[in-house]
Amino acid sequence: VICVYSCIFLMLINFFMILKHLRIDRISEVIFSAICGIVTADFSSGIVHWAGDSWGSVELPFIGKNFIRPFREHHIDATSITRHDWIQTNGGNFMIGIPILLKLTFIFYNSSSTEIQAEYPFCAYLFLCSIFVAITNQIHKWSHTYFGLPVWVQILQNYHIILPRKHH
């Protein structure tokens, strides 16, 4: 719960700082950086999922119980994730975004406007990457949810913007 709320708080701070320093003449760089952030989050979540399924043992202290077992549980009961609440589904991934978003907050509050503009595309990349890493498990949960999904989620799945049920 602490990780989720801390991460959301940092997301909001950084979102407003991203908007504050946005320059329209650099919008193409920002869009490219944002797309790269999303692709990086998607690729890295796939690598982590593969590693969690392939390496280690559920008997390993701390890592086995907290990280490997949930990955492997999914293959025994594919819909188990749909019975997790929002915090249980997303808490671990929101924790990952906290150090990245803290770094961005530090940059925005301790750098000159010129320095921020020099780092702005990278900041946009990190911001979107951290957001999409944070919501990876939610998107995964939706790919296993067969009834009651919001229409907007179904549209995103139908256009393969997020992981669709049939593809997964």
From the list 106, 110, 130, 157, the residue with the least C-alpha distance to 34 is: 130
The stretches of the chain forming alpha helices (DSSP H) are 2-21, 27-54, 63, 69-76, 86-110, 113-134, 136-143, 151-158
Tens-digit pLDDT profile for residues 76-108: 887 888 888 899 889 989 999 999 999 999 999
- CA 35 from centroid of its chain's CA atoms: 13
pLDDT digits (tens, 9 = 90+) for 130-166: 999 999 989 989 998 988 999 999 999 999 988 887 7
pLDDT at residue 168, rounded to an integer: 63
The pTM (predicted TM-score) of the whole model is 0.83
Residue 117: pLDDT over 80: yes
CA nearest to 33, candidates 163, 130, 167: 130
CA–CA distance from 98 to each of 26, 126, 127 (Å)?
27, 11, 11
